[in-house]
Amino acid sequence: MKALNELGRHIIKPHFTDEVHPYIVRNNRNLPWFGQCVGAMNNTMMDAVVLASVPEAYRNRYGRVAQNVMCICNFDMKLIFVYSGWEGTVHDARIYLHAASQGSAQFPWLPEGKYYLADSAFLCTRGI
C-alpha cells in the first residue's frame, strides 16, 4: 500500500479549469447549484491484510478488517486524490483533517469559489 501511495502522488494529479463541466451545463436544473462544483469526495472501506498484532484497530463496524480510504473524483469519474492507510474504525472527518493539514499528502486545494460535494461525515469548510 505504501508503494501505491507513492506512485499515486506522481500519477494521480488534479486538473482544474474555470470551465463548468459539460454534464452540469447540459442540465439547466443543476447549473445554478453545481456550476462551481469540481467533483465528489467520500471515504470507502477496502479490505486489508494487516499485522497480526493490530487487527482489531482495522476491524470496522461490519466485522471486516479494512482500511478507510478517502477518494476525490471529478465528473469524468477520474480519481484526482486518494488518501489511504487509515484504520477501518477512524471517522471520515479525522482522515480529511489529517490529509488537509499534511503538506506531504498533497491535498488538492481548490481555487476560491470552487468546491467538492461531500456527505455529512465531512466538516463544512472552504471547498467542501
**pLDDT number for residue 1:** 62
Confidence band, pLDDT 50/70/90 cuts, at residue 118: very high
Strand ranges inside the chain, DSSP E:
37-47, 66-74, 79-87, 115-118
**pLDDT number for residue 105:** 73
Q: What percent of the chain has pLDDT over 70?
A: 93
How many Å apart are CA 88 and CA 95, to the nearest integer?
11
C-alpha cell at 64: 471486516
- Write the pLDDT tens digit of every residue in 36-78: 999 999 998 888 888 888 878 888 888 888 888 999 999 888 8
